[in-house]
Chains A and B, each alone.
Chain A
Amino acid sequence: MKFGVVVFPGSNCDFDTYFVLKNGLGQETVFLWHKDHSLQDADCVVLPGGFAFGDYLRSGAIARFSPLMQEVCEFAERGGLVLGICNGFQVLLEMGLLPGAMLRNKNLKFLCQFVHLRVESAQTRFSQRARPGQVLRIPIAHFDGQYYAPPEILNELEVRGQVVLRYVDVKGERTDEANVNGSALSIAGLINRNGNVMGMMPHPERASEALLGSEDGRVIFESLIGP
């Protein structure tokens, strides 16, 4: 499996993601510069966390106009696997590859902490190695992570089973308190209708080594590699 990690000016989780995929999981991994036009035959494109273009205008709003994003769009439309983490998720929303938008966190604070996530669907290419209902402990680090979508879209996401990860408490229960950023339906990660594009606010690359306090994030990358 070949991974391509997209690098924008302002990306800051690109090296972590690269390290986990290459050293932690032993996969062929390349960086993809946002101004290039080639995905270098990657099987999976990862849009990493960070602050692409300084989050100017809106988080992810400018990144979508980078030349490489045209290739990423076509790749996704052909069924290619695309994973957006944090800022990468925001970029996918701005590109329209995933529905909805991100608002500032409900408490208007930058949140940098471990959260608990419940795996709502273990039948996706991004979660197939997890157990349904499994609770993962993975950190978040964002200002604009309050997921928003109009009611009809939220309903559709639920009906079609596109919600992959939800913020829960340590016992796996949905509570207002556990929904730290105030996301609609406690959504932390969602997938497109075709099941090949996923966005998640938590950082699995920061929780892929026991040394860093959690290995729970590995399951996302392992799922991509295979069942």
Chain B
Amino acid sequence: MASVCFYFQVHQPYRLRHYTIFDQSTDYFDSFKNSQVCRKVADKCYLPTNRLMLELIRRHGGRFRIAYSITGVILEQFREYAPQVLESFQELARTGCVEFLAETYHHSLSYLFSPQEFVSQVEAHRHLMQELFGQTPRVFRNTELVYNNSLARTVEQMGGFDAILAEGADHILGYRSPNYVYRPPNTRKLKLLLKNYRLSDDIAFRFSNRGWSEWPLRAEKFGQWISAVNGNGYVVNLFVDYETFGEHQWEDTGIFEFLRHLPDEVLKHPDNDFKTPGEVADTYEAVDAVDVPHFVSWADIERDLSAWLGNPMQHNAIRELYNLESLIKASGDPEVLESWRKLQTSDHFYYMCTKWFADGDVHKYFNPYDSPYDSYINFMNVLDHLRSRCNRTVSAPADAVTATASMSR
């Protein structure tokens, strides 16, 4: 058997507006830019791709099956700026061929800094999936596929999860193939699905690269690569950003045509099928435990945390953010809490990355800043203002008590 397991990541952050140390507004987010990006990507990617997915699911009568992980912050933006996108995802949910995965509501790195915050964000996201799509997720993927052994244990302890996703990085797999189901060490029944990064990246990154020896990539050729897995594995995990379709790979590259014909080509081989991550976990037994003591992610060639935590500015910003946790929660101000959570979205730290700044590379995509320094300054100014708001609300009741006391005297 070779099962194709598609999972698409759908996410956009709440980008910050330009905010100087002199600003006093409590409105930190650039609603104009965010609505612009949301509508643009909706038109180029989300709407046409959802339409195509629906068409494919109907045409193949249940044999074409896919999964999404959609963050809470993009769903909020869909509601506000592009409600028709949300409706089209709901229509996909109703086909019964689409699985929705769980992740942190705010696409955060909270697992690294605050386990209790992490748990509450995952719970919030699970509830949102139930509310919007009528299903409770049973498979977990962490932000940017950040993963290690202890994350797997935490997720199992939360309960209700049958599988977890991670990057099939060479340094964790060694000689082993990502095309089997594995398990994390020291867990009882949780299964580990690892991304086949070669085949995933063929679609997500190399598809339009004319310098690539396999260019142009057609569905037929890709279908043959999938069929070749038969006998060497059970499942090909294709984990890609949804924006690959129409946004990272423009329509004129032929990416939609590729997708349109892919199910036919895969299903040509009688032993092939499509399965969602939950179905893969139900169908196949784990063959081995994969030990991941250090964090891996799906970013860049390093496949580590260095895109978000690679320089002192990023460490400083994120530590200052999580240092505020008790103050924020003590303030009892829901608006402050919500802003703090939106600041946790990993993209804010990604913009501060200096790793490839010299070459000015892929990371420019959707990046609202001219430089990582500008993004750090902006973030720290917002954080400073947020802190001053909690100081006010936290110290206010104390003042009120003193004032009452002195008046009664």
Chain A bound to chain B: no
